[in-house]
Structure 1
């Protein structure tokens, strides 16, 4: 079985919606980190203070095929009109992996069987 790491950097207000989309498709554990981004557009200012906005970084280890499904689901949340994105989501292949819960591996295997039927 091959695994991928999925990372999604999303606005804080879309965090739960992205988590729900990933869990609905079979994601087990999700690590959530607080983030702050600097975009290529001018920052918003309010009385001389700048506001960058809060972001959440979602990290997941998934079965390779499942990672693409979850990537697409999160993309629909952060890019609903297929034009302007409010975040980014990407996957990276994993060569070596340790510490994953065996019950999660069983869920991934079941997902693979279900998708082949």
Structure 2
């Protein structure tokens, strides 16, 4: 089984939407970090104070096929009108992995079986 890490950098106000979408598609654990981005665009000012905006960084270790589904779901949240992105999402391959909960591996295996053999799925799976 191949794994990848999914990284999503999202505005704080879209964090829960992205987490919910990932969990709905089968993500187990999600690490959430606080961040602050610095872009090449001019910073917004309010009464002489600059505002950079808070961001959340979501990290997920996923089965490779599942990571693409979650990436697409988060991309739809970040680019609802397909023009202006509100964040960034990407995956990286994992070569070595330790410490993952075996129940999560079983969920990934179940996802693979459902993807490869949809005709064998029942109502519980």
* Bin for the TM-score computed over the shorter chain: over 0.9
The CA RMSD over aligned residues, in Å, is 0.4
Residue of structure 2 equivalent to 1:89: 89
Tell me, which stretches of 5 or more residues in structure 2 are unaligned?
118-125
Aligned pairs for 1:16-95 within 5 A: 16-95=16-95
Structure whose alpha-carbon radius of gyration is higher: 2
Residue of structure 2 equivalent to 1:113: 113
Q: Which runs of 4+ in 1 moved over 4 A?
A: none
Tell me, which stretches of 5 or more residues in structure 1 are unaligned?
none
The CA distance in 2 between the partners of 1:47 and 1:116, in whole Å, is 57
Q: 1:47 Cα deviation (Å)?
A: 1.1
Relative to the length of structure 2, the TM-score reads 0.93
Q: 1:88 Cα deviation (Å)?
A: 0.1
